[in-house]
Amino acid sequence: MPVIVGAAIVADGRVLACERAAPAEVAGMWEFPGGKVDPGESEVAALIRECEEELAVDVEVGDRVGDDIPLAGRDYVLKVYLARLRGDRRPQALEHSDLRWLAADELLTVPWLPADAPIVAALPPHLAV
Ligand SMILES: Nc1nc2c([nH]c(=O)n2[C@H]2C[C@H](O)[C@@H](COP(=O)(O)OP(=O)(O)OP(=O)(O)O)O2)c(=O)[nH]1
């Protein structure tokens, strides 16, 4: 089944949440940066590529967080990986309408895409400082 990967980028006990700018049905909802894995591309390579395209940052990809999530009504499975920033560049919202670094007690202050709920629930142990 085709895969969509997302990066839970963690720094200083916070995770980077990204507000979708489009399409209209999901604009204003929050997600992990990422996207579709291209044919023949590894999941890690797709995460590195998407974080460069969407945020202009280099990431080091770590362990999976949460389980595979089948996306409702679509032929895709979502897989989220922990990640860390490599280098000095700070994320820029090149494709999103806003970015926020959320601590564990702030995770539910934004409306996440519904499929992300189990991932968000699994994050707090990874945000302990
Ligand atoms: N990136 C990302 N997508 C998510 C998350 N949760 C979730 O349901 N999705 C869904 C929303 C979209 O339908 C799909 C990702 O599509 P996308 O449009 O961001 O991916 P892409 O850039 O590779 O797409 P495209 O331009 O090739 O069409 O996965 C998440 O946390 N991160």
Residue 129 lies in a domain: no
Task: Domain of residue 66: give its range.
Answer: 3-88+96-123
Residue 23 lies in a domain: yes
What gap in Å lies between CA 70 and CA 79, rounded to an integer? Answer: 9
Sign of the CA dihedral with 85 first, then 89, 17, and 93 last: negative
What gap in Å lies between CA 80 and CA 32, rounded to an integer? Answer: 8
Query: Residue 4's pLDDT is what?
Result: 98
Mutational pocket test of ligand 1: of 4, 15, 71, 112, the residue with most ligand atoms within 8 Å of the beta carbon: 4
Nearest CA to 32 among 59, 5, 52?
Answer: 5
* pTM recorded for the entire structure: 0.96
Per the structure, the count of domains in the chain is 1
pLDDT in tens, 94-118: 999 999 999 999 999 999 999 999 9
Residue 128 lies in a domain: no
Using the mean position of ligand 1's atoms as its centre, give its distance from the Cα of residue 33 in Å: 8
pLDDT in tens, 62-71: 999 999 999 9
Task: Specify the CATH number for the domain of residue 59.
Answer: 3.90.79.10
Residues with CB under 6 A from ligand 1: 4, 6, 31-32, 34-36, 71, 78, 113, 115-116
Q: Are the C-beta atoms of residues 8 and 79 closer than 8 Å to each other?
A: no
Helix boundaries (H) for the chain: 43-55, 117-122
